[in-house]
Structures are given as C-alpha cells and as structure tokens.
Chains A and B, each alone.
Chain A
Amino acid sequence: MTVKSYFLPQSLDEALGLLAEHGDSLLLVGGGTVALPLINEGVSTPEKVMALPQAGLSYIQRANGTVNIGATSTLTQMVDEAPFPILQEAARQSASWTIRNMATVGGNLFVPPPSGDIATALLALDAQVKLVSQAGARLVPLADFYSGFLANVMRADEILAEIQVPAPQGKTAFIKYGRKAANTPAIVTVAAHITLDGDTVTAARLALNAVGLHPLRATVAEALLTGNRLDEATISAAATAAAENCQPFTDAIASEWYRRKMVKVFVRRILRQIAGEAG
C-alpha cells in the first residue's frame, strides 16, 4: 500500500513545519505498528503520512528527579533504559520483541484499549506530556490528556514530543493480565503507586486499562485508600470500588462481566503485593 506523500522529518522543527503546512490532511505516526496494519488492510487510506521516529525524539534522560522520555523512544529503549522498574515492566509486557523495536512510547499513548498499556504505568506515576506547536509548548498531566475513545485534548497543530515522569515517591507495581503470557492485548491492566507512612496510605495512585474508553485513574478507590491502613479491609473496599467505577467492554479478548470481576481480583492482588512489601 502506498500513499501520495510520506514525510520522515529529521527534527521536531521540520515536523512542526510540515504539520503547519499540511494540517489535518497529515496522518502522524510513531513507529507505525498501529497505523501500518490498518493501511495494509485498506481500512485506513491516508494520502499523506508523517512518521516521527527520526525527528530527534528518541531519548530517555534523567533531570532533577524527573525522567524525560522522548516521544519516539522505542518500547525496547524503555525496557533497557527507563530508570523506574514499573516503566520497564509496562514496556516488557507490551507486544513482542520485534514490535517493541519499532513501537514508540509516545505512539502507545494514542492506542485505544485493550492495548496501549504504557499509559497505565505513566498515569500511576503522575506523568505529564509535553505538547509542542510552532506557537510554543505546554505541559498537560496525562490524567487530563484523554477526553474519550481515541480522543484527547491535543490541538491539530501540536505534536506530543516528550513525556515527563517524576520519580515515584512510594511503592509501585504493575500487573497486566492477558490470555497469554506475552504479545497479547489486556483483559485488564493495573498499575499502582502507593505512598505509605508506616502502614497508613498517605497517597494512592491506581490506574487501570482495558476497562474504559481510555486508560484511567481509579479515583474512587484511590480516595478509599488515602488516609487508611493498607489492611485487608481497606484493600477489599478499594478493589470493590475500582470494579464498580469503571466501564469494561466486551470484545474478542474478554466479556464486560469477566473484565469487571478481574478488576476486583487484580486491584486486590496488586495492593496485597504492595502491602506485603511494606510489611
């Protein structure tokens, strides 16, 4: 399948210039591992495509306790270079080696559930995304980034250039539950980042994927955890609340009913894991 124009900018400035010139008619891709299958099948027939993997955005750098991840860093780079285990684990459990060598961290944020699990770990770490246009740059918390299924708050003239991740202040864990051990979409994915004072939760971040229109924070469960002892009663209440306050869907991977059951099971499991480490 070919297109009329394929652009492979060698810098962010060049990419922003092409975006300003061609506007909405341009399909932006990272590693192409989501767009190309649709183009190969004829489901998507873009006339103009701009791919970003050579635009100088493939880096993972630490600065002042924050890690800055260039949007086109590959998932393999994230496995090898990300400083926080939860990020490595989220990348390791995505796709296959071959696809991880192509797929980008930034691109993964645009992949709808039940794929796109990197956002789950990033949400748990309070990551922000840097949206750049020719007019300037702005930082948006990832928790405010999504506005619906395949929808987000980006303007048409912006490119997601970087993800900024503050160092975790507490204990973190990541569980992806799928039908196979590897290379599979999720039934449910859970990421947790819990700060404890003794055995009392002082801050709780719990993120879910494959149980809503986009990766999301389980805010009701987080509120139940905060200020309470991380004991079996609290864990159970949080797990129940997470299952009640999400919107699982039925697809070829799992049913809505099963996904909701598994939210409860895996939220409980991830919190017990963190409680066990704390003890």
Chain B
Amino acid sequence: MPAKIVSFNLNGRETEVMIQPMTTVQNLLREQLGYTATKVGCRQGGCGSCTVLVDGEPMAACLLPVENIAGKEVTTLEGITPDHGLHPLQEAFFENFATQCGYCTPGMLIVSKALLDRNPQPTRDQIIDALSGNVCRCTGYEPIIQAVQNAAQRMNGHQGE
C-alpha cells in the first residue's frame, strides 16, 4: 500500500505525517504521534470519547480519515491543557467530581470547550444537548453538567476582570 504524506496543524504546531490510506485521526494521534488523551471507545462515533476539534468543530476522530484534515487545525485535549496548571474546564471537572474512571473526560472537555467558545453562558438544556453524543457510564452526568456551568461562570468572571 502506498504511503501518503499529509500536513496539518496539531495544537498550534505544523505537523507532517506519513500514513497508510484512510488511517483514522484517532489511530494517527495515539499510535503514531503518542497523543493519548484522545481515547478509543466504540470506534462507531457513538461514545464521544475520541472527539477532537477540527477548525474548532467537534468531530469523531475514529471516523475521520487523516487525508480529510490536510491543511486544517486539529485541537486535542493536550492542546487545551496549559503548560502549568489546568484549563478552567479541567479545574471545574476536578472540583465537581465530574470524572470517575476518566475515560469519557477528554471527549467531554473537548465538546464543552467547543460549546463555551460559541456560547459562553449556555443554559442547562444547551449543555445537555451539546453533550448528548458523549457517553459517561460513571457519573450520571449531573456533576459534568455542573462542572460546565461552573467553568462558564469562572471563565466569564475572568473575562470581566
């Protein structure tokens, strides 16, 4: 099988990779590049644990061929996490016990980030709707919804300072 070279921006850094045709972004991130925050859940697009941002839009990395992201900006949880400390969403998830086993957490954080980027003060229903593609089998969702609400308050507060 002929290998292909694809260039894209990963977490702010220009990146060039050599792949087999139709390799998924999920496999590229985890197995070739060592970015393991993006999880492997169902590989069906049904659990949300592999969600990444492509030009700011949440997409399922398990269903996304690397060729499709040529020239685009991909953001993973590694790209959202500051060098020191935590992103306000991560802090809020930590403080609200919004993570138990942790497997869904990267996907939850990525989608929450995309939501708050578009809508800094989402209603409870808007949060639930945004996260409806992300499955959590531990928390019962309530702490996650709380965490997103708290993070929104915190981030809006910071903006006002």
Residues of A within 8 A of B (CB): 1-6, 8, 31-33, 36-37, 39-41, 49, 51, 53-54, 76, 95-99, 101-102, 181-183
Instruction: Annotate B4-36 by CB proximity to A: 1 below 8 A, 0 otherwise.
Output: 000000000000000011111000000000000
Cβ A2 vs Cβ B22 within 8 A: yes
Residue pairs across A and B with CB atoms within 8 Å: the count is 91
Given contacts A2-B20, A49-B22, A51-B68, contact A37 B63 (CB under 8 A): yes
Cβ A36 vs Cβ B62 within 8 A: yes
A95 to chain B: which residues have CB within 8 Å? Answer: 133
Interface of B is mostly: mixed
The complex places the Cα of A95 from the Cα of B86 at a distance, in Å, of 31
Task: Count residues of B near A (Cβ-Cβ below 8 Å).
Answer: 29
The complex places the Cα of A2 from the Cα of B22 at a distance, in Å, of 5
Residue among B48, B54, B67 making CB contact with A6, cutoff 8 Å? B67
> Within the complex, what minimum Cβ distance (angstroms) separates A178 from chain B?
12
The complex places the Cα of A49 from the Cα of B22 at a distance, in Å, of 8
Cβ B129 vs Cβ A6 within 8 A: no
Given contacts A32-B64, A36-B45, contact A97 B21 (CB under 8 A): no
Q: Is residue B130 within 8 Å, beta carbon to beta carbon, of the partner chain? A: yes
**8 other A-B residue contacts (CB within 8 Å) besides A33-B45, A101-B58:** A2-B20, A4-B1, A6-B67, A37-B46, A37-B63, A96-B133, A99-B133, A102-B60
The complex places the Cα of A220 from the Cα of B122 at a distance, in Å, of 45
B23 to chain A: which residues have CB within 8 Å? Answer: 2
The complex places the Cα of A102 from the Cα of B69 at a distance, in Å, of 12
Given contacts A3-B22, A33-B45, A36-B45, contact A98 B64 (CB under 8 A): no
Q: Is residue B44 within 8 Å, beta carbon to beta carbon, of the partner chain? A: yes
B44 to chain A: which residues have CB within 8 Å? Answer: 37, 40-41
> Within the complex, what minimum Cβ distance (angstroms) separates A142 from chain B?
25
Cβ B65 vs Cβ A98 within 8 A: no
The complex places the Cα of A4 from the Cα of B2 at a distance, in Å, of 8
Cβ A32 vs Cβ B48 within 8 A: no
Cβ A97 vs Cβ B130 within 8 A: yes
A101 to chain B: which residues have CB within 8 Å? Answer: 54, 57-59
Cβ B63 vs Cβ A53 within 8 A: no
A96 to chain B: which residues have CB within 8 Å? Answer: 48, 132-134
> Within the complex, what minimum Cβ distance (angstroms) separates A9 from chain B?
11
Cβ A98 vs Cβ B21 within 8 A: no
The complex places the Cα of A49 from the Cα of B68 at a distance, in Å, of 13
> Within the complex, what minimum Cβ distance (angstroms) separates B139 from chain A?
17
